[in-house]
Structure formats: C-alpha cells, structure tokens
Amino acid sequence: MTRSLVIAPQWIGDAVMTEPLLRRLHARGEVLTVGALPWVAPVYRAMPQVAEVIEFPFAHGGLQWQARRQLARTLRGRFDVAYVCPNSLKSALLPWWAGIAKRVGYRGEARLGLLTHRLPNPPKGERPPMVAFYSALSGEAGVAGDRPALQLDAPAVDTALQALGLQRQGYYVFAPGAEYGPAKRWPAQHFAALAQQLPLPVVLLGSGKEAALCAEIAQTVHAARPGHCLDWAGRTSLDQALAAIAGAQAMVSNDSGLMHVAAAFGVPQVALFGSSSPLHTPPLSPKAQVIWLKDDAAYQPPLDCAPCFARECPLGHTRCLVDIQPERVLRFL
C-alpha cells in the first residue's frame, strides 16, 4: 500500500481540475491524503477517492517557514510519496521537511533539491489544458481526455438545501464574479435582465469580495420581481455553495472556479468567456454550453483583441462580454 500526500493548488478551479489525477492514483492502489488551504478543502471532500483532507493553516503570500516546518514534523513517517501540484517553492518545502522519500512535481522556482522526480515545465504559451497538466504528475500516459467529477452524498445535499430554504431543481444559480478581474465578468445588468426572464428563482453565489456586485444584481431584480433573487454572496460556506450548485436546475457563470465545480457535478450550465479562452480552461462537461464571441464567425467586427488575459480591458470597452445579450444565454436554459 502506497501512502500518498497531494499538495493541492490554492484556487477552487484548479482544485477541481486535479480530480482526474487523484482518481488515477487511487485506481492504482494509493491511499490519498490531500493537504489544502481551508478555502479549497471542501472541493476535496467531494472526491470519494480522497481518504483524508488536512487543512493547512497557511495564508496567501509569504513562505511562513515556521508554520510549514511545524506541520512537516507532524507528518514525518506518514507518507511514501508526495505529489506537489503548485509550481511554487513554498509548496514543495513541506514534503521535503517531512522527509517524504519520493517527491513529484514540475521544475521551476528553485525547486531542484526539493523534488526527487521533476517533470519539465512547459512555457505558459505551450502548456496543455490544466487537467492534463495535473494528471501528468501520475507518470501515466493518455491524460489528455481526463474529465473532473465531483460527488456529494445525496442526503447531505438535501439537508444543506433544506437549511437554505431550497428544493432540488427549484432554482438557478448565478456566479457573477471572477477572482482574476472585471475583464472576465459579464455585466451586472445582463445578469439581472436574465434573472428577470427565468421561471424559477435565482441564487447568487460568490465570495465577500463580490458582495457589492451581487447586491447590485439582486436590487435590480427585486425592483421588477420581488423575492425572485436570493443574494448569498459572502454569506455561505464553500460546502453550502457546493450543495447549492449540485442541486440547481442550471447555472450561469463567468470563467471562474465555480464554473468548474458545476461542470464536475454535471449540472447544466452556460459559461461566459471574454478575456480568457475556453481552449485552455473550458468547463469539461457535456452539459456545458460555452459562449465566446471570439469563436463566433457571425460576430462583427471580429474580436482580434481576444483573448487578452488582462484583469481589465486594455481598450476600455469589454465588448467581448458586453455584447453577449441575455436573450442569447436564455436560449440554453
């Protein structure tokens, strides 16, 4: 029996895209423990192949040497191999300090002595889709077709929904935020206009950083259809948000972590892309509909500027998202 520690990425979407790697490791008999930051740990609790999730007491930024050394001491002797998903130096420190004999990861950021098995790290412009990028850490071939899948216990989902006053398939979920920046966000007025046309109530999900954005949408909808929009931005745990997505009729979102969650649950969804590219990080689900004007031959003038991958539109118009009309999204719901 191989005891394996997986060092998780720090973003929700990336965490979802590591699931096929974990599935491969589990299938060959490895017992999996995932070390994850608290805000992504619930994603790994929705992966049945994970035996244990350790929540790392680390914050964004900084090496936090003392905290990592202290945790590493408690892990000594527990694992035979470590898979380091992030490319950072600090993510490789803990397995090294814990004395794990085999440490697998990508080259980069002065990690030469920290990893025993180093995969060549392709330049960003040549990097494969992220699922294949992570799955390659398994050392197995044929990773290009992997697709993430999450699973929650059905009674637990029903209990969570009951606590939130929801019923399965009785609402839509909107995730109007995007952590990277406003160039990835469909306009708030478009979300509000779409919500007003739907037959079921809409639940808005997001972090506290997106509270103002979601409040704007909710207020606009409430003025036309009171009680039709529930604003939960910053008011739910990630566990509750996962349950809400799993039980939804459908979901509409930007290119974001919650978009990948919906895809992994197999929830019908519409994913809106603007400054980023669905060629690199698409929602990997047959029930996902992607709208990207860059890829629409009928849209004129062509979006020669996309994908720019900028946080804010360099040209100041963000027409790659502004010109996606709510009626176009409504056709897929």
pLDDT of residue 191: 98
pLDDT band at 124 (very low <50, low <70, confident <90, very high): confident
The pLDDT assigned to 108 comes to: 82
Chain-centroid distance of CA 124 in Å reads: 19
User: Per DSSP, what are the bridge partners of residue 229?
Assistant: 202
The band of 261, judged by pLDDT with boundaries at 50, 70 and 90, is very high
What global pTM score does this model have? 0.95
- Return d(Cα 147, Cα 154) in angstroms, integer: 21
pLDDT of residue 70: 94
CA distance 223 to 232: 18
Say what the pLDDT of residue 295 is: 92
Residue 59 has pLDDT above 80, yes or no: no
Tens of pLDDT, residues 141-190? 888 889 999 999 999 999 999 999 999 999 999 999 987 778 899 999 99
> Mean pLDDT of all residues in the chain?
94
Task: Work out the average pLDDT over 97-108.
Answer: 95
What CATH number matches the domain at 2-138, 3.40.50.2000, 3.30.300.30, 3.30.450.40, 3.30.450.20? 3.40.50.2000
- Strand segments, DSSP code E, in 176-304 are 202-204, 229-231, 250-254, 269-273, 288-292
Mean pLDDT of 34-41: 96
Say what the pLDDT of residue 60 is: 72
Reported CATH class of domain 154-330: alpha beta
- The pLDDT of 260-271, averaged and rounded, is 98
Range(s) for CATH 3.40.50.2000 in the chain?
2-138, 154-330
Helix (H, G, I), strand (E, B) or coil at 50: strand
Q: Please write the tens of the pLDDT for every residue from 275-321.
A: 999 988 899 999 999 999 999 999 999 999 999 888 888 888 899 99
The whole-number pLDDT of residue 142 equals 87
Identify the CA nearest to 60 among candidates 80, 38, 35. 38
Please give the Cα distance from 175 to 242 (Å, whole number): 12
CA distance 228 to 333: 16
